[in-house]
Chains A and B, each alone.
Chain A
Amino acid sequence: MNTRSATRTPVKKPAQSGANRRRSGTSGNRSAWLRHHRDCASQSLMRLLRSPVSSALTWLVIAISLTLPTLFYLALSSLQAQTEQWQEGGQITLYLEQGLADSEGERLTGELDARPEVARAYYISAEEAWESFQATLSINRQALGLTNNPLPASIVVVPSQQNSSQLEALQLIIRGLPEVEDVQLDLAWIDRLNRFLELIYSIVTGLAVLLGVAVLLVVGNTIRLAIESRKDEIRVIKLLGATEAFVRRPFVYLGIWYGLLGGVAAWVLVTAVAWWLRSPLTAFLSTYGIEANVAWLGFTDTLVLILASIGVSLAGAHIALQRHLKDAEPR
């Protein structure tokens, strides 16, 4: 420490004033830094609230831009939750050869269950099938005049992925099994549904990106105007020794506030629209016998929405500062 300052002083001439400044300490600097952050945050908010109409225009545009993709996302996740229920319908039933021993059937079930593309597989023995058949019809074998159980043993396979290519592969494997007499499956509609959902998902993503760019531009333009209107002030404080970060800080916070207000407003809009559509949508779907659950934005989704809004707004502010702060050099 001593040797360092001893070698330093002769090199740097203005050591006197520099040392004095340094003596005020890093902790002092840090608290000054924190103080300035706090002041900038509150002053930017005050500035924003002082012109409520023009600032409301900005964060409403942000809110509306974010509402659209969020609503689509919400619809999509409701639909996906629904299809997850239906995916049980995507199960494959393998009817085994008559007379195949239960141990064989169970071994085969175990093998299928171990496959990665199979979520679960369970064995229904001929006896079990018969019992559940009787229970359903409330009759017994004798009443039907049967002495033997006519039903075959079966294996029910629930695919883990509803991805079409994997399903096809699984189907091929199952058809190739010698013990399998017949395969009953209905996967084509799931395949179609999945492709449809993938399409919608791509559209929503594209839309979200486009509208995200819109938010970026809106915030960028708003910050540009703010910089423009305070150009003289920026020139003055730069001449008084303000660092780049000091000059940028209030505008960065302005971006954060716009993002936060826009994000919260978007949440309100999304929730309002979801509430508005809830009963007509449920009524509509129930005519198809679908008991729909209109999803609300959960805590995580809300957090993601607001953070995304802040993030995009910050990026917009950053771009505006990058491009327009140069014009405010002292003259």
Chain B
Amino acid sequence: MKTKILILTIFILGGVTLVFDACKKSDVNSPSSEYRPTYLSFKIPTGWPAPPTDIFKNNPLTEEGFQLGRKLFYDGRLSKDGNFPCASCHQQFAAFATYDHQFSHGFNNSFTFRNAPPLFNLAWMKEMHWDGGINHIEVQPLAPITDIKEMAENIENVLKKLSVDTAYHRMFTTAFGDTMINSQRMLKALSQFMGSILSFNSKYDQVKRGEASFTLSQQNGYATFKAKCNSCHTEPLFTDNSFRNNGLPLDPVLKDIGRMRVTGRPSDSLLFKVPSLRNIQYTGPFMHDGRIFSLPQIVSHYQTGIDITQPTLDPLLKNRLTITNQEKVDLVEFLQTLTDDVFLQDTRFSQPK
């Protein structure tokens, strides 16, 4: 058989490339004279470091984009059966984690593979997920939307459902300049909403600003925190956003190898993202698989629970942590000063009416 077929043909058009392509440039914003969004500035809380990258650089933050993202975040139509909006696992009263659930519920009575992380201060997070598999906030929603244990939907269906809703026609237009509804705009809007969620008004923050003072126990707990915890849960974000093995034994059922799942590197085995401790009072159960249910139990893990035989154990934990029981009580008192009621109750982030 000698039938030859061409697999690919490139037609070369002669001409001045720049002129032709300038018209075709399909950016998010197709400016028209009526497109006048309200631009918002992203304010970095006083004394905080600048985020490692500007997540709004190619996604200008606007009130309209934020509100569209907020509507999408609370919209069950992003899931296959309509029951699982982003907000079903990311509840505001739980700092946008799932309250009191080791694993979150997803489509068809399934449980998620890992504990849902809280959502705040995401602009400082270079990689998302416990294993850091997601490299940009804009592509993060693709994971839960398409995961069969979470929202179990595909992007094409989501866009179909959105495009029959006139409210979305209006909101995509005010946010992006015309009625086109595509995945890029949906993701950028979600990113504007999620990236705008900040938590910086806890008692700890007020103390730092000179607006409040710690109790003696909280003060002592803060001293212990700075001595024992701050090198990974670094202020003011209360995480250094690194990946570390904190000595939790491998769960025999989940067999979750952490960061090695995405990098394939044995040295990344059992490494997980260091979570922020902000709002920790409401983000439990704790750890990547929600195996720890209370704040004192967390401290106990670092006192006595760390498996020091693991080859990838973080060097800072190789002797476990020496924390007295009094220090433990004070540390738990301090951790509760990281609760930010302003953020937890901020109606700007709540379900739109």
Mutual binders A and B: no
